[in-house]
Amino acid sequence: MRPRDRWMLAGGRWSQGAADETFTVTDPATGEPLGVVAASSAADVDTAVAAARGAAPGWAAAPAAERGAALHAAARAVEERMDELAALVTVEMGKPTGDALGGVEAGIGALRQYAELGPLHGGRSLPGGPDAADFMVREPWGVVAAITPWNDPVVIACGLVGAAVATGNAVVHKPSERTPHTGAMLAELVAGCLPDGVLNMVTGGGAVGEALAGHGGADVVAHVGSTLAGRRVAELAARTGARTVLQNGGNDPLIVDAGVDPSWAAGQAALGCFANAGQICTSVERVYVHEAVAEPFLDALAARARNLRPGPGADPSTELGPLVDERHRTKVHQQVEKALAEGARVLTGARLPEGPGCFYPATVLAGCADHMAIMAEETFGPVAPVRTVTGFEQALAAANRSRYGLAATVLTRDMAHAQAAWRTLEAGTVKINAVFGGAPGGAATPRRASGHGFGYGPELLDEMTAVKVVHIQAAAP
């Protein structure tokens, strides 16, 4: 079991490392401190990577079925303490209890998915000469550096770690400095089911992430987080030649077409904009509504926003939890204030509430324009900026005018419009008539500033493996 004052895992051993800096984690609902955490030093990163490097050959040589069995054991270990893990998510980043539990359940599912898919993941044979055998095989890269965010800390970590471990890699994981208790507990549970050194962990902020991303001992750097951080990760990894998988920020549009039920559309928009207080990578960040339904849609959306029950995530009646910390709340509010100064109109929200915690009201802004930062950049908060358009083609064109390309949603009763939307929208994921959902196993590659590579689904196994071509021919007589 991990001692409470030890935050570094390397080679199966928890230690204080060589850290000379600490940071305090606070409950975003109350502002109360949750604990003081030691930030890993550059020497600690060296130690963790060396441990992974030492464990990688043995783990790569392990039978795929053995690796799958270890991941199944890890899934059971997480499941046995899922309530405790979900409670940590809630107190560290504010997610309501039900949502936090759902994220842990999804993480367990990811571990099980890769436990099953890993042993089936292989190459293919090639047609060659009658006296030769030609085939392509997939091999682990070696060491994977996994840098994960705070907004859904369990499922994202389980996905990256699960895919890396299933394919025979060793991992160094850096959870977000905003959710280190969650990251440490998850590492304790999963690493306990693996050979020493297969899963290692370091803690800290951007400096630690940079040390890991730029470490010459990492063969793959997988990062999920902001676009700014992702660009820095790509720059550092390019210097060492490491492969990168980047799932970064988005500015996802929602198009509300003429002819849809405005009340139903408002419900979809509210879900997309306000779930997890807007702190989801595929949250709706900007709304384009057809003028034919704009007025009743805006009225219904504002009513839904006003009726959401704010409160601490641990309260089962809470529908809108706090933002992760004061720094993030300040950023969200500054974007809202700037939009108002540029001509947007408040229908509800947009005011900092009094009292403790990092709460922010569900906010609806009308009269927004594409040049406003609230429409052009990722807000990552419970804000619905709305622009009224005169036609569906205008909405499609506006949706595509973005440096991001993560996801997009279209609400329409017109199947021709639905077909035009998925063919036209420049995003990795296009959703028709549902802001969330989708079949298990779906995977997409984000566009432009939103990153590159498959960050989930069966295709993530491809990202975690290198392809080798083998040609075997009979020796000359």
pTM of the model: 0.95
* Residue 17 binned pLDDT confidence (cut-offs 50, 70, 90): confident
Average pLDDT estimate for 415-440? 94
Domain boundaries, the chain: 8-248+446-470, 252-432
**pLDDT at residue 159 is higher than 80:** yes
**Mean pLDDT score across all residues of the chain:** 96
What's the pLDDT at 20? 82
Is 252-432 a domain of CATH 3.40.1010.10? no
Architecture of domain 8-248+446-470: 3-Layer(aba) Sandwich (3.40)
**pLDDT at residue 477 is higher than 90:** no
Average pLDDT estimate for 307-328? 96
- Could you read off the pLDDT of 27-79 as tens digits, one per residue? 999 999 999 999 999 999 999 999 999 999 999 999 999 999 999 999 999 99
Average pLDDT estimate for 13-36? 93
* Residue 439 binned pLDDT confidence (cut-offs 50, 70, 90): confident
* Residue 142 binned pLDDT confidence (cut-offs 50, 70, 90): very high
Average pLDDT estimate for 182-194? 98
What's the pLDDT at 164? 98
Average pLDDT estimate for 157-176? 98
What's the pLDDT at 37? 96
- pLDDT above 70 as % of the chain: 100
**pLDDT at residue 21 is higher than 80:** yes
What's the pLDDT at 97? 95
What's the pLDDT at 217? 98
Average pLDDT estimate for 455-468? 95
| Angle of helix 180-191 versus helix 64-80 axis, rounded to 10 | 130
